[in-house]
Structure 1
Amino acid sequence: MSAGNIDFLCELWACSLAQYGADPPFQSHEMLYKTIDSSKLGDIPWQSFSVTYQGPRPASNVPPWMEAGYDVWFRDPRKVVENMLGRPDFQNELDLTPYRDYDKKDNRRYENLFSGDWAWKQATKISKDPNTHGSTFVPVILGSDKTTVSVATGNTEYYPLYASIGNVHNGTRRARRNAVVLIGFLSIPKTNKAFSGDAKFRHFRRQLYHASLSAILQPLKDGMTMPEIVRFGDGHYRRVIYGLGPYIADYPEQVLLSGIVQGWCPKCFAFPDDLDGGDPLLRTQALTETYVRAFRPTTCWDDFGIIADVVPFTNDFPRADIHELIAPDILHQLIKGVFKDHLVDWVVEYIKAEHPAGDAADILDDIDRRIAAIAPFAGLRRFPQGRGFKQWTGDDSKALMKVYIATIEGHVPTEIVRTFRAFLEFCYTVRRDVITEDDLTQLEDALSRFHHYRTVFVDNGIGNPASLPRQHALPHYIYMIRQFGAPNGLCSSITESKHIQAVKEPWRRSSHFNALGQMLETNQRLDKLVACRVDFDARGMLEDDLASVALRDALARRAKRLLQNSFEEASSPSDHLLICEGRTRTLEDKDCAEAAGSLVRAVARVNGKELLAEVKLATTRARKRARTLPALAAELSTPNLVALTRRFLFEYLNPTDYRLKFNIPIPIAECPPAPRKIKVVNSAISTFRAPSDQCGSGGLKRERIRSTPLWRSEAPRHDCVLTIVDESRPGTLSMEVARVLGFFSFVVDKKEFECAVVHWYEYYSDERDEDTGMFIVRPMYTPSKARHLAVIHVDTMVRAAHLVPVYGKDFVSEGLSHYESYDTFDAFYLNRYIDHHAFELL
């Protein structure tokens, strides 16, 4: 908030207290800033050092970069780590020792960093040293990436450096709870075009980067060989040994970090013109040093991809090997790299190569129309103009991944569609919150199919996968998962999202003149506020109701006990909710009474896993909508709605009637009378556990299911849902797909029924489509060609479903709206790529 807005807010606050003769705690922004600055909580001051070139200079025409000074700003990483270890809200979300996790079938599970082999090996080394034996290992995770805050005003760039600790769980690191902290701004050397290609300048730029990192991390070095005593969030003091953990970086940053030549792999010695050939050796620090000593620099460059005059910063620290510490990067390697930069572009090239220019343009236009015609879905980014936009973001790539495979089918060969299927299955599997050995087998199978089918591009002279480092990185994922746990806790999307809070928003708030100092001050104040909030909450200072405090404490104790057990040992649906919420923050963001058991939850088993889901209607009655069943029947053009509701009541009140088991029609005269009054709403809220999605460390996700006669003043919108019908059927087939025509509720004998009138869909086959990997569904109709309708209780719903038309080879008509998608096509793919929960469920 700007200083002027803070002043205005203080004036409003003063006005509200004037009638009581009281003053607000802050009179102006100066007083507020002074109060924040005086706080000792989270107080880690910024420091700086300057670097200059010290090498030989030419006698004349000295390049300007040799004369310039390069400032590096940083905060003491040791104090940052100590603050993180001492946070009370992290005490249940820290691993103190590496572990190996197995399920009931003795199948190993990889999740947090400490579940992998790397942390285990590091702890083993620490335990064998008498000086460090018994100490808690604290690996420092680093991440850096240039970011541009302004292109129009001089291409203003910053180079932030972030730090986290490997003890923190992956979900906590992803949940934006300040488990990733800004610790520095690296310098960005620049020069004029005449010297930008100078080998000396490139060498200075590389070594400045490594020297800066080494200098920033020096306060941690002593604690890497001799234990230090640190107070943890649970109040206990422990001996800790620091170490350098995985480094989060995209490919250009990985090249700079590992001191290799562009185009080579930072993990292995595969040749850049045949990255997928043979079984190359893994790079190690010891092997690199051996090659540098044994061969000339030109030989190292040409034969091994090693830049001999670069000394990685990890060489200055014990137990650190930069090649080993390169982390997997889902965002830049898979989503932005393989999908957006490679596969999507290759499809365009293939179509242009296989068809005359006019026909190719028509096909590409039709693919864009298909993308634009995709039905809306909660959280799905729309592409009104198709995929032909100039500036791609990571969110754009993720959104296009969800729908792209169905839009190209019919316009490209089957092999290309199957290439996308294999890649999507690899990408969604590797993104899981917990990855098992069975999942690693699936990854190997998907990778094998991807390599097999992508040859269709090579055979047609399009692309050269053997020289693409980001595609080559895919085989390394299985090894890195075993080393570091699930990759979603080390993805560069974490640092990308941190850019917004730590760099871009503070820059926008600054005067844009010498902005870095203002940005540093803003970050320091924000960190102090976070530290104060955590401390106040831990002391109980933010509670205002003693009764709610006692209830929350009781629930917290129960949640803590449940967290030590499995879901199968929990006794009730409310226990499951406590487990989910306990992993976020022990119910502090929920109404405790509601969380304790007032929620009605559907608990079923799909694919052998317990499925937790809840669907509740919106609380606000829809304006200008029906108040009786006959009126709603007329509004929805469903003349038999009253009869459907009466049959629903019979089935609900008489679940054991033998006629229901054998699908014998129930005479309408035997059904209870229909309710006189109803309450119609335009949406329902689905809550389900989806830990692999970006929904917080507790794993609970909410999405809105809409059924409204007018959405955004454009057209009606009626979403689809998944409903539990027959748990005895295998996997996805235990659920049916239905389109919600309307939500309503009514009261019978003092019991409220929350219902929906739906149009059923049926599966085209009991097997997935071989090309896309998705089930195909189609609308159901009666023998008289009427829609197959029913009234169902929302308790049977699991979550929203997204359907993508089976376009085939037909072209989509111009002007087809995405609101007309469900009414226009006869068959649809049940989209398992719409999010990670749907992928696991379907």
Structure 2
Amino acid sequence: MRKKHPKLNARPCDATGAFVARDASPPPPSPCEMNDYSPFKDHIQFETADFLYTRNQMSAGHIDFLSLLWAASLAKHNDSPPFGGHRPLYQTIDMIPLGDVPWESVTLNYKDKETLPDDVPSWQKANYDVWYRNSHLIVQIMLANPDFKDEFDYTPIREFLPDKDGGGLYRKDFMSGDWAWKQADKIAEDPATHGSMFVPIILGSDKTTVSVATGQNEYYPLYVSIGNVHNNVRRAHRNALVLIGFLAIPKTDKQFSNDPLFRKFRRQLVHSSLAAILELLKPGMTKPEVVRCPDGHFRHVIYGLGPYIADYPEQALLACVWRISRKEKHTEKVVQNLTVGDAWMEYGIVADIVPFTNDFPQADIHDLLSPDLLHQLIKGTFKDHLITWVEEYLVMVHGQTKANGILADIDRRIAAAPAFSNLRRFPEGRGFKQWTGNDSKALMKCTLEALDNALGRFHQYRKIFQTTGHSLKHYVRHIKLFSVPNGLCSSITESKHIKAVKEPWRRSKRYHALGQMLLINQRLDKLATFRVELKERGMLEGSDPPEEATKVEGSRTAGYVWLARTHQRHYPRDVNALAKQLRELQLIQSIRHFLYTQIDLDGVQDSATVPIDDCPRFNEKVFIYHSTAATFYAPSDPCGIGGMHCEYIRATPSWYGGGERFNCVFVEEQHSDGPPTLRDGMAVARVKCFLSFRYRSVFYPCVLVHWFKIIGNAPDPEIGMWQVKKDYNHHTRKARISTIPLDRIIRATHLMPKFMSTPVPIDHQPHKTFQRYDRFYVNRYIDHHSFETIF
């Protein structure tokens, strides 16, 4: 059951602010001719500009050289290229009216610097330029983006999951958290806000270094997003996370780097800069304004400062403390009753700094610091703590020599993991430095109750954290406030650094680069906004830039699987010869049983019970494929706007010149007499080959699978994963195989062997894992979707 906020319920209105019926159609956009690509001459010129500037990031000199070659080749046809060089290309981009938010700057300096004596440190005499864009206009553009219309929450929501105990709250995206609902309650105390849409302003900042070799070039970007867009949209960026400013970085020599006066100035400069950049949003935090929304409707919106994405040092800077465990009321009492020095020494509070949130209504910086999933859990707890502790424990219990042997076997077990789409191979075991990607992040998916239990055990066995404290104890509260933390993770801003800072810096002349970087970002935003506008008008059909295989843009659809475009040519077409080459002599019988179910002679669904002589004869040409692509809805993965995810499933006797790769899959089981299932009718099988043929003029895409048998009626109680073993025919003792329709595959799955007490052989290769071991665990932790599907 989905419940929306009763008072801040985002009622549609017209451009003047008068409310209209909820079922009213949105007002039509401004009229525009279908062939009007202004300021570009036509579709080709726009695509050329977008390709050269956004996708290829071609330098000005290379654009000029390409234009010369292009012009020479077209001269004999009395034609000319789309652009005569980089200057007309840049000028045309600059003429795009959409997304045009120019950069401004404000100069800040130390108070009364003109009256200071000459012998003060240089940082006190310096001017500090803070570059920013109009925060109000940026948010308005974001709200009007039609790309977000299907992944956007217009009101705070509470989603209840029915269960035997009466239901619980399901927290998925930001607006389903308690914070948004409570903020709406406070705002709704003013009747003038009723019917409005609450728009939380999410900020994020983090210093980044673009080049160590040329003098530690540091930049301090500030990003803005809105809480209404879904987490997967913010993670995929798509203009839902926008560069809004560059904060100044005061520097001094080592003599004054620890000077309390310098540290105070540096902290206050950040807070004063943030307050100045957000000032234009302040009027809309108390009085609603009318803004167009992604669905085309106008609505009254009211803004509010939302959570701040930051790593731990940044959090301490923003909260004016050296450890993040304070409340605003407690801080105020300390500041009022203690000296600056006592407040710092006894409570770790920087009492002489004014937080930027003091200038805005309903804003408490201590409640707005979001959990940092990347550094606190992925890198901190899992990598730095747990892995290190396990190694130290083994040494303490077994001694260094035996511990090294155990760790070597652990490495070989990691290396023995079968191949899987997007799973990084670790041939040397655990000796890697970065824990990123879905394989590690999925380890942290759990219920709040499970998280509380895990933290209880953590405290029980790691006594030191009971006295020193740690960030994990805040996670249950923060998840209740802001929903799942993947939408506010610092990995979002870190990945944005690449597009917003590092790539523009590489494209610059490296001398006084910031101005060039600002212009590059402005042009990129213009092109991106104009592409969305043209797409909304239907003027870019069939011209969208290609995406990575794992991202599928567009709206949500039902899952589907399709064969590779071309079949493999080195296999025989004759089914008898093919069965011998594949060493699958049951292939012909399995195809005949498959055809029996497809033509539905007697309505029997389980063909295994049908005598082979009653099945259709088959001697058609068969075509073999080494891969298929499965597309399915995976809302927790950082996928496209619709949440659709695509992965490749392989079935090849040689992968990149090495061993075989035959992936395992979840199969939709259609009747109770089939193989045992995990849940919701899902069986587990290993693909032997993908094939297709025509029978009586009907095209059949199929897959030959080896079945696995489920062990027990529930997952293993110790590790929470189902166990399976290879399934054999009781009479022939041969592997039980079937030919099934391709559309019965749900997606790929990953099986990890149940290792025996004996060590893994030193020469073991991962492609031999399915030959060496008979029992396996269905790996629920391989990615988010597998966790949700099996769980």
TM over 0.5: yes
SS in 1 for 2:654: strand
Q: Name the residue aligned to 1:706.
A: 650
Q: Name the residue aligned to 2:546.
A: none
Q: Name the residue aligned to 1:367.
A: 410
SS in 2 for 1:197: coil
Alpha-carbon shift at residue 38 of structure 1 (Å): 2.1
Instruction: Give me the whole-angstrom Cα distance separating, in 1, the residues matched to 2:707 and 2:690.
Output: 15
| Aligned residues of 2:383 and 2:435 also touching (Cα < 8 A) | no
Q: Name the residue aligned to 2:780.
A: 832
Report the CA distance shift for 1:154/1:822 in structure 2 as closer, same or farther (over 3 A): farther
Q: Name the residue aligned to 1:122.
A: 183
Q: Name the residue aligned to 1:158.
A: 219
Alpha-carbon shift at residue 520 of structure 1 (Å): 1.0
The answer to whether the aligner puts 1:814 opposite 2:749 as a matched pair is no
Q: Name the residue aligned to 2:688.
A: 741
Q: Name the residue aligned to 1:185.
A: 246
| Aligned residues of 1:675 and 1:748 also touching (Cα < 8 A) | no
Instruction: Give me the whole-angstrom Cα distance separating, in 2, the residues matched to 1:535 and 1:799.
Output: 34
CA RMSD of aligned residues (A): 3.0
AA of the residue aligned to 1:394: T
Instruction: Give me the whole-angstrom Cα distance separating, in 2, the residues matched to 1:465 and 1:14.
Output: 72
Indicate the larger mover: 676-685 or 823-832.
823-832
Out of 98, 115, 126, the residue aligned to residue 68 of structure 1 is 126
| Aligned residues of 1:251 and 1:470 also touching (Cα < 8 A) | no
The answer to whether the aligner puts 1:84 opposite 2:142 as a matched pair is yes
Q: Name the residue aligned to 1:780.
A: 727
Report the CA distance shift for 1:648/1:96 in structure 2 as closer, same or farther (over 3 A): closer
Q: Name the residue aligned to 1:448.
A: 453
Out of 539, 542, 552, the residue aligned to residue 541 of structure 1 is 539
Deviations 1:616-654 (A, max 9, x none): 222211131232222221222122322222223224434
Alpha-carbon shift at residue 318 of structure 1 (Å): 1.4
The answer to whether the aligner puts 1:3 opposite 2:60 as a matched pair is yes
Instruction: Give me the whole-angstrom Cα distance separating, in 1, the residues matched to 2:96 and 2:441.
Output: 46
Alpha-carbon shift at residue 791 of structure 1 (Å): 2.1
| Aligned residues of 2:378 and 2:435 also touching (Cα < 8 A) | no
1:571-582 alignment, distance < 5 Å? none
The answer to whether the aligner puts 1:640 opposite 2:586 as a matched pair is yes
SS in 2 for 1:394: coil
AA of the residue aligned to 1:720: C
Alpha-carbon shift at residue 135 of structure 1 (Å): 4.0
Alpha-carbon shift at residue 175 of structure 1 (Å): 2.8
SS in 2 for 1:815: coil
1:209-228 alignment, distance < 5 Å? 209-228=270-289
Instruction: Give me the whole-angstrom Cα distance separating, in 2, the residues matched to 1:348 and 1:622.
Output: 47
| Aligned residues of 2:200 and 2:304 also touching (Cα < 8 A) | yes
Q: Name the residue aligned to 1:467.
A: 468
Report the CA distance shift for 1:660/1:31 in structure 2 as closer, same or farther (over 3 A): closer
Report the CA distance shift for 1:336/1:776 in structure 2 as closer, same or farther (over 3 A): same
SS in 2 for 1:676: coil
SS in 1 for 2:788: helix
Instruction: Give me the whole-angstrom Cα distance separating, in 2, the residues matched to 1:755 and 1:24.
Output: 48
Q: Name the residue aligned to 1:47.
A: 104
Q: Name the residue aligned to 1:691.
A: 635
Indicate the larger mover: 787-796 or 307-316.
787-796
Report the CA distance shift for 1:624/1:194 in structure 2 as closer, same or farther (over 3 A): same
Alpha-carbon shift at residue 22 of structure 1 (Å): 2.4
Out of 800, 805, 815, the residue aligned to residue 748 of structure 2 is 800
Q: TM-score, length-normalised on structure 1? A: 0.79
Out of 88, 91, 94, the residue aligned to residue 31 of structure 1 is 88
Alpha-carbon shift at residue 137 of structure 1 (Å): 2.8
Q: Name the residue aligned to 1:757.
A: 704
Q: Name the residue aligned to 1:553.
A: none
Q: Name the residue aligned to 1:531.
A: 529
| Aligned residues of 1:510 and 1:519 also touching (Cα < 8 A) | yes
Q: Name the residue aligned to 2:436.
A: 394
AA of the residue aligned to 2:90: Y
Q: Name the residue aligned to 2:659.
A: 715
Instruction: Give me the whole-angstrom Cα distance separating, in 2, the residues matched to 1:802 and 1:286.
Output: 50
Report the CA distance shift for 1:233/1:660 in structure 2 as closer, same or farther (over 3 A): closer
The answer to whether the aligner puts 1:631 opposite 2:577 as a matched pair is yes
Alpha-carbon shift at residue 296 of structure 1 (Å): 3.3
Alpha-carbon shift at residue 73 of structure 1 (Å): 1.3
Instruction: Give me the whole-angstrom Cα distance separating, in 2, the residues matched to 1:173 and 1:180.
Output: 6
Alpha-carbon shift at residue 733 of structure 1 (Å): 7.6
Instruction: Give me the whole-angstrom Cα distance separating, in 2, the residues matched to 1:660 and 1:154.
Output: 71
Q: Name the residue aligned to 1:169.
A: 230
AA of the residue aligned to 2:67: C
Report the CA distance shift for 1:158/1:288 in structure 2 as closer, same or farther (over 3 A): same
State the identity as a percent: 48
Q: Name the residue aligned to 2:10.
A: none
1:476-491 alignment, distance < 5 Å? 477=476, 479-491=477-489
Alpha-carbon shift at residue 32 of structure 1 (Å): 0.4
| Aligned residues of 2:98 and 2:526 also touching (Cα < 8 A) | yes
| Aligned residues of 1:350 and 1:457 also touching (Cα < 8 A) | no
Report the CA distance shift for 1:208/1:810 in structure 2 as closer, same or farther (over 3 A): farther
| Aligned residues of 1:711 and 1:717 also touching (Cα < 8 A) | yes
Instruction: Give me the whole-angstrom Cα distance separating, in 2, the residues matched to 1:727 and 1:486.
Output: 37
| Aligned residues of 1:733 and 1:766 also touching (Cα < 8 A) | no
Out of 428, 435, 447, the residue aligned to residue 445 of structure 2 is 428
Instruction: Give me the whole-angstrom Cα distance separating, in 2, the residues matched to 1:658 and 1:526.
Output: 59
Alpha-carbon shift at residue 50 of structure 1 (Å): 2.7
AA of the residue aligned to 1:701: H
Alpha-carbon shift at residue 214 of structure 1 (Å): 1.1
Report the CA distance shift for 1:771/1:149 in structure 2 as closer, same or farther (over 3 A): farther
Deviations 1:170-208 (A, max 9, x none): 333233211110001112223333332222222222212
The answer to whether the aligner puts 1:142 opposite 2:203 as a matched pair is yes
Instruction: Give me the whole-angstrom Cα distance separating, in 1, the residues matched to 2:118 and 2:391.
Output: 52
Alpha-carbon shift at residue 20 of structure 1 (Å): 4.3
Instruction: Give me the whole-angstrom Cα distance separating, in 1, the residues matched to 2:332 and 2:768.
Output: 63
Q: Name the residue aligned to 1:412.
A: none
Task: Give unmatched runs, 5+ long, in structure 2.
Answer: 1-56, 544-550
| Aligned residues of 2:439 and 2:781 also touching (Cα < 8 A) | no
Indicate the larger mover: 480-489 or 250-259.
480-489
